[in-house]
Structure 1
């Protein structure tokens, strides 16, 4: 299905931000034996499908101490990078529903099953949602050396190059990554001019080339681009959140820039294996929310340009389902594949 500006998938802001909906827990009835209010009785492993230093890894480490304090048990980060986070996802998908292995997963999990159709990518909707850890909008940035000063000028440049047979070169951390599909959605909003996607093995090398002027533009999470905006190496054009970002208050939102139905949120969530008991989910969610009220944790998150998460498992479930459907349509409409 081709997505248009009037697509109902994008017509409601609530489709891209947290909202409460019913969470199906039928599968939990078959694993009642795991319902142990004494959980955790042994150290808990938080699997992260990406290398240390990124936004997903940061989320796990930022909340590690808070979870340990609330639950009185050790939590250990295990970075198992590979296949855009899928190695860690598969391990948690196959784990016993005892709460001893949990996944720190990001929003790209909702995109990858549509992009890698032959690799057995985990459907995140089959995992047990516990709660949102943090979230942030994306920022459209260009090199500081670029003549482009505003989003309006960016659109003019994209269309001018397309008309002349040239293209804007934009980067991302890989095919199907959130910055990639977000730019493709923006291209739709601009009427479909040609743009050239340059995928990298991670966001960091793409940022290096962007700052050097070898790329023209890129989307990435606020926490990723903020240091380079502060240092004067990148220029922000607009943010994809429902409101302006405190760290870069002069940068307009997509709505303020004239782009309708373009509220995109990068989120990190805590998930358990399928069949995780309601008792463990409730206890883990409570510990997560308690950790997210700690002033030190909040400061560490906000100082990076992210926003603390929190809320109910149902909110993470809704966020996961909504993004899964939305990005599936974007991938299909733009013929994005990594197979």
Structure 2
């Protein structure tokens, strides 16, 4: 009888032990059990929206659940960022944010803009240089002519009108930094709610120039609706090999690379971050995804959450210094 009780106790103990050992594994494999929403703080059509949509189907297949895009435009992406900052840290509402996150808090210091370093980094989706374009009908044929036009207009008391996806965006501070590199001639900033409406006005000639990611302008460059005159990378971009770099046109310290990453709200569980990061890295190795990015001048991201965190913090400091030095404020 005693032996039977000991045997039963040992069997029960082993079963309980196996259950306890398996519990963490079950908890990890349980995510996700429902669709995952990716928040994009910009309208459809921009680079951030493009990056999210290129990955959606493959991420869904990898995760075994649907992946839904939600666009919430406003305050240069901050409405979407604030939404995710308030979301439950369960991995079902995630942010797809771009480099503008590292700029906006410095440009709007009194509006309670979300601090990007407070998010939980998951992974880099893509990296891309910016490209400066003018309308196809513009008399400007290259960057030298553009620089001359900017200075000439400033002397005449009427600056060149340049568009951006929003005040405080990466495009905004990049253009202001270029203006400073040209000696500080006056230019007129025309902010929009996202890249798409700005591009429409650019092609119509209602604004005269605009920086944005290569992927935003690629189809319009190929169709001849806009003319590229500068890329912000240290080497020329394969999809537009005739467009010069900053060093080639005499702009010093002007190599700028934008990035798009996935973030979770504060407190997002490590196992969720690990699952999503692994899915991102797997998807970014798919030939079709790589081709979609590279055909438009972007490069697939990947890597660790720590690499996204380091990039976010470095650019947050960089643009804080630039905003302060150039007195850029957009209250």
Q: Is the 8 A contact 2:46 2:194 kept in 1?
A: no
Q: 1:37 — aligned with what?
A: 28
Q: Deviations over 1:164-195 (max 9, x none)?
A: 33322211122112221111001111121221
Q: After the TM superposition, which residues 196-215 of structure 1 pair with which residues of structure 2 at under 5 Å, given as runs?
A: 196-215=188-207
Distance 2:300 2:236 in 1: 16
Q: 2:223 — aligned with what?
A: 231
Query: Quick check: 1:143 aligned with 2:154?
Result: no
Distance 2:299 2:130 in 1: 12
Query: Quick check: 1:162 aligned with 2:140?
Result: no
Q: 1:102 — aligned with what?
A: 94
Q: 2:302 — aligned with what?
A: 310
Per-residue deviation, 1:153: 2.0
Indicate how the Cα distance of structure 1 residues 36 and 191 shifts in structure 2: closer, same or farther if over 3 A, else same: farther
More helix by share: 2
Give the counterpart of 1:274 among 266, 273, 280. 266
> More deviation in 231-240 or 301-310?
301-310
Give the counterpart of 2:65 among 66, 69, 73. 73
Distance 2:36 2:85 in 1: 15
Q: Deviations over 1:82-101 (max 9, x none)?
A: 22222221222122222122
Answer with 1 or 2: which has the greater Rg: 2
Q: After the TM superposition, which residues 1-339 of structure 1 pair with which residues of structure 2 at under 5 Å, given as runs?
A: 36-38=27-29, 39-339=31-331
Per-residue deviation, 1:140: 0.9
Secondary structure of the corresponding residue to residue 137 of structure 1: strand
Identify unmatched segments of 5+ residues in structure 2. 1-23
Indicate how the Cα distance of structure 1 residues 202 and 284 shifts in structure 2: closer, same or farther if over 3 A, else same: closer
Secondary structure of the corresponding residue to residue 41 of structure 1: coil
> More deviation in 99-108 or 63-72?
63-72
Distance 1:301 1:250 in 2: 19
Q: Is the 8 A contact 1:66 1:288 kept in 2?
A: no
Q: Is the 8 A contact 1:285 1:312 kept in 2?
A: yes
Distance 1:78 1:186 in 2: 33
Indicate how the Cα distance of structure 1 residues 204 and 235 shifts in structure 2: closer, same or farther if over 3 A, else same: same
> More deviation in 160-169 or 323-332?
160-169
Secondary structure of the corresponding residue to residue 198 of structure 1: strand
Q: Is the 8 A contact 1:36 1:280 kept in 2?
A: no
Per-residue deviation, 1:79: 2.1
Per-residue deviation, 1:286: 1.0
Distance 2:177 2:242 in 1: 24
Instruction: Provide runs of 4+ in structure 1 moved above 3 Å.
Output: none
Identify unmatched segments of 5+ residues in structure 1. 1-32
Per-residue deviation, 1:68: 2.1
Per-residue deviation, 1:36: 4.1
